[in-house]
Structure 1
């Protein structure tokens, strides 16, 4: 894996301002938007076959002039693809696409610029690549993954570190579990190129670990609801469940955990 400095550096993290080649066809540029939700920042992926001049950009990230300028310098850009519509992935997409004169393709029509959308089963042919689109709802209703020959770009469906949020009510846990099962069935050795955090060596292994984690959390939530209902004389709120199940988790993450707990409660009721 190699790193190439990019114009307009504002270095505070060793990965900022550096295009890092991860696979023969995928390189990553880290946006400078770190937080408890985005980890070190959003991974913007730049895809092209060896020797190709044009590229496909996945998730341009936030509306950050320096980051968007760095990506634009890596062009020409044939297409912009979005894994989903959260601002840390998609906020800068329209401005970036206007700058590089490329269409934006996404599942959500509100995010598109150009004629064509994206849906599961589509194949994007650009930059010398065939990129298969996988519908992977759950984190959000519009979440997509993009499958290359040797890797899958997972957006927020699978992260490089930690676990992701099911963003209830748009995200639904039942959908998310089905999406994880689909990723678990990918060929062995399919690398994970996530929206946040480092790449992972095997999508199947990562997805199965996520499934086990979700089953554990569901059991914990079910038990907490039973105990709290007995103690309170009625069903607890999602926040009350968070305070029990996530008692050992940084409180800065409790608001995000509450989204997932709402999704879990909805799933258990169903």
Structure 2
């Protein structure tokens, strides 16, 4: 069942029949956006990867965001909700792109991404600010690098909801990829999301949808600034040349040590930012 209208607080007037996490089910979240949750839970994927299906009212064809990993059952379920007119990729990580080639073969859909490795049946990238008009939908491209260099969000025009990939998650915080993530870019991306204004639902790459993007993005920004202050303070104690592991042991002493390798990745990116 689809909700009829969004209220001022970002909620919808009709309750959904299912709630996150709901595996192997098409769960309608907004009048346009539904989600199919892949059954690939883990430390980095939370409950699993959210594959988003966008469909304008009264239209059969849809647009898919992030087919997910190379999980045949999941890909078949998503393909079955088609016809799929277009597939868009939020970023390069395998839990979002591992199934791209197979999904394109199943659906015949062109696949557009910033990273040319994932483009299929098209050479088109995702330039910042482009308005993609497809099967009755208007989707605005908003480049939001930081988690990875190619990270991209999508604004559903009219409705106002924002697909954030891994830039903002449904719970917890985002780990910046130490290979091409950049904290300066990430802070700028959070500010760009804040500037979109209030009342926009968050449709994330992992975790549950959230009612207000501006509030969550501001919380993410405050958290990052607080962590930066902690890293600065750690360097004053440990010395300016302290490595990521030493900083993690100092700053994250109250965190389960099983999470330290993940924290070390973020600290590495923070140190690069502070030392530039």
Q: Structure 1 residue aligned with 2:252, among 246, 249, 258?
A: 246
Distance 1:3 1:45 in 2: 17
Distance 2:153 2:258 in 1: 28
Q: Secondary structure at the match of 1:71?
A: helix
The residue that corresponds to 1:10 in the other structure is: none
The residue that corresponds to 1:116 in the other structure is: 124
Distance 1:51 1:41 in 2: 29
Distance 1:224 1:14, change over 3 A: closer
Distance 1:38 1:179 in 2: 21
Q: Structure 1 residue aligned with 2:186, among 168, 176, 186?
A: 176
Distance 2:101 2:17 in 1: 27
Unaligned runs of 5+ in 2: 1-14
4+ residue runs of structure 1 moved beyond 3 angstroms? 1-4
How much has 1:86 moved relative to structure 2? 0.2
Residues paired across the two proteins, number: 258
The residue that corresponds to 1:186 in the other structure is: 196
Matched, 1:2 2:9: no
Coordinate RMSD, CA, aligned = 1.4
The residue that corresponds to 1:8 in the other structure is: none
State TM-score, norm by structure 1: 0.92
Deviations 1:201-238 (A, max 9, x none): 11111111001000100001111111112xxxx72210
Please give the residue correspondences for 1:149-228 in structure 2 after superposition, counting only pairs within 5 Å.
Answer: 149-228=159-238
How much has 1:145 moved relative to structure 2? 0.1
Paired residues of 2:153 and 2:163 also in contact (CA < 8 A):
yes
Q: Secondary structure at the match of 2:271?
A: helix
Distance 1:14 1:169 in 2: 30
State TM-score, norm by structure 2: 0.90
Unaligned runs of 5+ in 1: 5-12
The residue that corresponds to 1:65 in the other structure is: 72
Distance 1:251 1:3 in 2: 38
Paired residues of 2:69 and 2:98 also in contact (CA < 8 A):
yes
Distance 1:248 1:102 in 2: 47
Q: Secondary structure at the match of 2:172?
A: coil
Distance 1:50 1:171 in 2: 37
Distance 2:184 2:78 in 1: 36
Matched, 1:257 2:271: no
How much has 1:14 moved relative to structure 2? 5.7
Q: Secondary structure at the match of 1:37?
A: coil
How much has 1:253 moved relative to structure 2? 2.2
